[in-house]
Structures are given as structure tokens and as C-alpha cells.
Structure 1
């Protein structure tokens, strides 16, 4: 991939990687702006750790977990825009119209931007893994483990985020279905043109990185989030267990998903039952059950601007009426659920938009409505819901255990909830609906529909011009739009980056 890496100094030295008509992030041109050369030639383990901070900084990119006005949010809000959770409003800037209306094509720039943003993170993680062993001694082995373990985890996470969008199949053992290229080195060259690998090879590399992270982060000098009171901006061992459980669920490895989720639950915070604490996870007033969050500090934007422009209460995308309503008495999330007031607010109703519920969970911190909020990327509830689904879908199914986990999440969230006992398809659907409730605006819904081969059916606002410009109201499980095409920009840069079959 053709890149430039610029370095700037502040409290920490952050490394940001910008791509130009890129194909793979391993292959770069380096143009240091300052004399400190932590990228080309680090002189200490301290400088390697500063480069690791740069990998975390790149998660904030506008096409990764961050967003810009009416665009971005590749791993944050975009999967809800692509699905049935959010609908485009008549207030929109139309910046993401092709994405929302599932009309993206092989020349759609947002797809290239998402691809680039995710490989930027991989690139910086590869720099860390290239250099960390140069400065590892018996005296600092545990510190090196902490740095190296995070880099392996970051590399795995970014590759998995890419895989979810660009792989047509999630089959773990397929030797013919194409994933992408699994980038494991940082090289200064523009000549190499790496080819896509099979799902099996890609998964093998993913699990190898996750296993390395798990081993390393179990033997460290200190907690990776030591010194952070209300946030968890670094990926620790519980986050690695969650990542393994998440990947295993997609791969259909249900026993592995159960084992990993159980290990994660043992380390993770307890499920939150209190409204103030739950809301505080999104306003930086409480840690709650956060396992890992993408940290946005002052001046670093935030994840909300694709859907809700906090400074003027303008909603480009609102929650579907099937999710929640202004009255709070209909939809999946109702006003007896602590998620209702944490996620939504009645904002600027008009004659044209009487249903003015907005997705305000990332409005800001400390009561300030400026869009500068951190993104909750991993939390305890996901571990319970992964394990519930894996129990329900395993062979043999363990429906009682699945129901225990589902009831635990619902009891934590819904006032007066009475435990249920469901089986079969009814149980599977209930778990899917609970994931939809729990993860609105958190980057899961489109992929949950894709991996379970469900039909996308958009709600009552779809096709009504007075409420929304979106006209594509359903998507069959076989439709090509479930998978991003390899864009012309990417293929022009790398002729070996072949197109997905459904887009040929």
C-alpha cells in the first residue's frame, strides 16, 4: 500500500497513516516530518510503545470508529445505516445516500476509505511487531509482552473488521472463498502486489494473532488500562477473549465461542443494572461494563456525526420505529428499559418529522452536546449474548444455558422483567432481537443479518418520501450488496486484488 506516515509530538507521539490509492498497507513510502524516528529506527522500547499509541489513534479515523458530517463510521454506525436499525431522514446531507440505499458500486469512495482506514491500523501494529523484540530483555519482558500482545490483538481486530465487509462467505474452512490479504509485515516498497487468500488461511492467521495476544497479555507488568479511571482505551486480556468469542461465533465454532466468552465473563465487569451507570458508559461518567472503548478526547471529534450532528441537534439518520418510538411504549426498546434513555432522546420534532427520536448515545461527555464521546466497542453484554447464541446453536443445543444468559441481560436492562423459557427458532430469534436492542449504533446489525443469512427488511419509514429518501426496503440473503466490492481504485493499484465473484 502506498502510504505516508507523519509524526507529530504532543503528550505522546502519535503515528497516523494516510493512504493514497492503496492496495495493501504493508507497502509504504515513509516521509518523517520530525527528527524523532520511532517508525524507521526506534531507539528504545519507549518509542515502540509510542508507535503502539499511534495504532490506537488510527481507530479514531473518520472511516473507522470516528465519523464526519453525514459520512464515515465504518465499524461504528455505518453497519446500522446499512441495515434496518437506522433510517435516513429528510434532514440528511445525502453524503452516505448510496450506502444507505444499498446502491454502492465499484467506484464508491466510502468503500475505499473504509478499507484504507482499517489497513492503516494494521500497518502501525506491524511496525510495533517488527521492532519490539529488538528492545526486549529479561528485565523488561513483561512490559514487552504487554506491548506486543496489544499489537497482535489490534492486528487481528482490524483484519476481522475488514473480513466482515469484504468476504462473501464466513465459512471458516473454505479453501476457495476469498478473504483479503493478511498483512503481517511492514515493508518499504511499492513493487509487491499481494493477492487475496482463502478464508481458511485468513482465519488461521486471525486465530494465531488472537492466541499470541492471549498468551502475552496473560503475563504483563501491569494492567494495560492502569491509570484510566472511567475509560478502557487499551485492549487487555478480557477484550482478547471477547474478540476470540466474536470471531468464533462468525466462524460457527460454537464450543470455542462458549469457552472464550466464559473466560471473558470471568474477567469482565458485571452486567450493569443501574440507569446512571449504564448511561455513564456513553458519557464518560462511569466505566460500567466497558471492556474496551475507542477513546475520543477533546478536539478528536467522535463517532456520532454520521447519524446525529450534536451541535445543532440535526439527525441524518434516526432509529427505526421498530426499534423505539417517542412514546416509549412501542418498538423493541421501551421506556422501562435502561437502554431507552441512554441511547435516544426526543430531538427537534417538526410537522414533517413528528417522530423525532434521535440516536444521542454519543452526544458528548459531562452534559456537553458536542459529539465528542468515546465509542463503546466491547462490553460485558456482548459476552453473554455470544455465549447464549453459541449455546442455542451448538450440537447438541444447550437451550437452558442459552436462556440463562439471555435472561441475565434482560434482567439487567428491563425493569420488572420476568424470566422466560424459550426453545428452538423462537429462542434463536429472541437472542437476535436482544442483540439488536443492545447494540443499536454499535456496529453489529448489518453483520448479524449477513452471518445468519437473514433477509434485510426495513421498517415503516422506508419508501415514504415525506419521512425518508430511502427506497430500497429489502435485501435478499443472496444479494451482492451484503459484501463490499473491491473498488476500482484498489484494483488499479494492485492487479492481484481480484474482484468478489458476485461483483464480476
Structure 2
């Protein structure tokens, strides 16, 4: 790791020791009497799997998919806060104003916390990969495949989440742009001072992990997620296809994105057009299109608190009026769209993003985060088709998704730039609050132009309304604590 591993390993062990229990078929509780042995010197394959459970538990961290009061949500709500999807309200605690206003620095705590949370997950995955093959026998090879395939997918996913924030651009073949360090071993040493690698090397490692995981997850001893439950808490072969399609889209590998999306759609649930089922994906009542959700059980908080404090109906960030309004008659998402009531709720003073307000009818913020779903696969494939000069197929996917979501939708015929604009708008509709918007704008080198609330002090304290494609703030600075400890971790351009 990046020479903060001594602290990271302590946090890791603390996380393993305090993992809370979940339903039997979901994330299994890590028993304290086993966790230290499992990390240091596992004696059984079951202990290795306990460490894998710990990797999933660490996705719930407040700066990964979880959130604190007005802070956190690095891979969940933060990309919307950083973008034009949400605006800061006068009710805010100002905990994330440096992020929302793009005034963060190398020593901003949330930058450091996001960096650490994601590398922490990687550390746990590396412990699994260090030990899992020690217990391989002909009789348990499919069990080994299931555990190892998930660990490889987790490692690739967390590295990709880091890359989106800390890489200056997403050029697949750049040998000069620096990504980060691709960590494949669990090492705790003050002498370990790794260097950042180029985008090309980093992508090579990402694709290598995903390629290695695919045959393993295709040949397992049992289903990775129980089809009888409404949760999908583990990364299956379908989730791997989603990840590969995402990475390929960012890399500009259109044919590869189409291939991965095809594989994902072939094994994913069908698109949902029913309001109850669609809303159920977010309130825990139905599986719907869920491919992978980060599971938050009772007492484990949830993903919403950066944006909406469910227990007192306080909205720190609200959807931009260009996205949705309280009347439901203007904006991208309107009341004839099943996403409107699933995602938003009118509250005093305006509309709130409430898709993760709680399970069932409870409003306590304890909800699962829907990290991968079928709708995203259609959007990835639609965009990749269009960029691969297959506009008719791209339009077919866009129409299929809109038909499922919007009442009385009339299919359209669009090509070229108009089609790509429509797909970008649909991604904004479909994926608001799901960790995509800031990166969608970054990967397509667009300017962020915040809407009508920005600059209106009666509605929002926001101080900055535009972010040019050349601005340094598209790329997070390497945290000051990291560069101080390891001079090999070169700072990103503009942050020295």
C-alpha cells in the first residue's frame, strides 16, 4: 500500500472485529474470535471467506458507499454533489461545502477519507487472494473459484473507483498520464514506498483482474446471491460484466463495452416497468433489476445522509430544478415517470432526493445502496453502440429503457450527436444519486454548468456555478498525508 498501511491495517482489523451481523444468506457476521487468525494465519477456507465478508463490510464505510451527517458517500452520493445534479440548500451543515464548491485541497479530510476507504477494501481483498489457494483441493475447487472470483472483482472495482477520482484523464493507452498504484499484495511496512503507474499499466491490471475473475465466477459451487431474497449483496458473474462494461466505456473501448453489456443483459433481471417493483429496489421491498447492492442492515447507517437526513426530513442537497421539480411537470424526471416517486419526495421548501430514506415505509436512512442494475447496462450499451457507429441499435436500447420507465412513451429516432445527448440525459435521469454524474461529465470533457439555483442566495449558499473542462478540480489531489509519507507518490498536475 501507499505507506499509510500501518494505520490502514489497524483500521482494517478494527473493521473486521466490529462487523455487524446480517441475514444468514447475506453477509455473514465475522466472529471476533476468528478474525485475527483469519487475517494473520487462516487455518481453514471458512476463515478466508470470513475475510471476504470483511471486504464487503468495508464497502459500507461512511466514505465509500455509506455516509455521515452531511459528509461521506465517496462512491454513492458525492459524485452528484460534485456535479450539476444537486444543489446545496440553506439547511446544510456545510460539512461538504469544500467538495460542493470545488475548493477542496490536499489536506481536505474527505479527500483523504475517500482514498483510505477504497484502499482499505483493496487491502482486505488482497488478504483473501494471498490465502485462498492454500486450501485448494480437487473437491473444493468450485468453492475456491467462488471466493477468489469475488475477491478479484472487489479489487478491480475499488481500484476503478479510485481511478475515477485521482486519474487526470481516462485515456486507455496513455503511458504518461499517472493513475495510482495498483496494489496486489497486502504489505504492512514503513519501507514500502510504491510509485504511481501510467494509465495504460493501471488499465492492464484492471482488465487482468477482471479476465481472471470471469472463468472463476462462471464455475462455482453455489449461487453467489440467493434468488429467493430481495438483496444482492455479493458480486456475481453478472456484476463482473457490469464492471467490465463500465471500465470499457470509460476507456473508449466501444466493442468491448458492447460485448460485456451483452453478457450482462443476458444474465441480468429484465427491465422493470412496474412502479411498486421499481420503488422496491430502493426501499428493500423487491429485487427488481438489482445486480449488486451494498447491504446496510439494522444499525449500519446507510447511503443517504450526505444528501438527506431521513430521521428529521432535512435536505442538505436537493435535486437541481433542471432534473426534477415539486410540481413534476418540468425537468428531466417528471411525474409520469416511475423514477419520479421512487427517487423524490416533496418536503417543506421543495423536493428531496429520498430514494434511500429507509426500508419499507420507515424513514430512518437505513437502506441498501443499489450499485449495479439492469438499466445501467442498457445505457452503457446504447452509448457504446452510438459511439461505434451503430445508432439504430443504440436508439433501440434507449427506447427500451424509456418505454419501461415513462408512461405512454413514444419511441424516438435519433442519430449522431443528438443521440449521445439523449443518452447523457437519460443517464442523468436513471442514475441520479447512484455515483455517476461527475464522472460522466469528466470522461466526456464537458463543462459543469449549475442551474438556476446557483447564485440565488435565498435558495443555496453555493459559491461556484461552473467548472471548465481544464480545471484542476476534476482530478482529486493525492492526499497530503500520503505525499508526506511517500515522496514517490507524485502529486497531480496543478496541486503542487
TM-score when normalising by structure 1: 0.94
Report the Cα offset of residue 491 of structure 1: 0.7
- Are the aligned partners of 1:13 and 1:51 in contact in 2 as well (CA < 8 Å)? no
1:7-59 deviations in Å (ceiling 9; x for gaps): 437654449xxxxxxxxxxxxxxxx9878511000010100001000000000
User: Matched residue pairs, number?
Assistant: 480
CA distance in 2, matches of 1:35, 1:482: 39
1:18 equivalent in structure 2: none
1:379-436 deviations in Å (ceiling 9; x for gaps): 0011100000001111xx0000000000000000000000000011111100000000
Q: Secondary structure at the match of 1:248?
A: helix
CA distance in 2, matches of 1:224, 1:152: 14
Q: Which has the higher helix share?
A: 2
1:420 equivalent in structure 2: 412
Aligned alpha-carbon RMSD (Å): 1.3
Report the Cα offset of residue 228 of structure 1: 5.6
Q: Secondary structure at the match of 1:502?
A: coil
Q: Secondary structure at the match of 1:345?
A: strand
Structure 2 unaligned blocks of 5 or more: 22-27
- Are the aligned partners of 1:14 and 1:57 in contact in 2 as well (CA < 8 Å)? no
1:65-102 deviations in Å (ceiling 9; x for gaps): 00000000000000000000000000000000000011
Q: Secondary structure at the match of 2:372?
A: strand
2:24 equivalent in structure 1: none
CA distance in 1, matches of 2:333, 2:326: 11
1:352 equivalent in structure 2: none
1:408 equivalent in structure 2: 400
1:448 has 2:448 as partner: no
- Are the aligned partners of 1:168 and 1:482 in contact in 2 as well (CA < 8 Å)? yes
1:113-132 deviations in Å (ceiling 9; x for gaps): 00000000000000000000
CA distance in 1, matches of 2:280, 2:459: 32
CA distance in 2, matches of 1:479, 1:106: 16
1:429 equivalent in structure 2: 421
1:316 equivalent in structure 2: 316
- Are the aligned partners of 2:51 and 2:124 in contact in 1 as well (CA < 8 Å)? yes
CA distance in 1, matches of 2:417, 2:323: 21
Structure 1 unaligned blocks of 5 or more: 16-31, 350-355
Q: Secondary structure at the match of 1:203?
A: helix
1:120 equivalent in structure 2: 120
State how 1:297-336 maps to structure 2 within 5 Å. Answer: 297-336=297-336
TM-score when normalising by structure 2: 0.95
1:386 equivalent in structure 2: 380
CA distance in 1, matches of 2:34, 2:143: 27
2:370 equivalent in structure 1: 376
Report the Cα offset of residue 490 of structure 1: 1.4
Q: Secondary structure at the match of 1:503?
A: coil
2:131 equivalent in structure 1: 131
Alpha carbons of 1:188 and 1:228: their partners in 2 closer, same or farther (altered >3 Å)? farther
CA distance in 1, matches of 2:205, 2:127: 17
2:265 equivalent in structure 1: 265
Q: Secondary structure at the match of 2:300?
A: coil
Q: Secondary structure at the match of 2:293?
A: strand
State how 1:86-101 maps to structure 2 within 5 Å. Answer: 86-101=86-101
State how 1:470-485 maps to structure 2 within 5 Å. Answer: 470-485=462-477
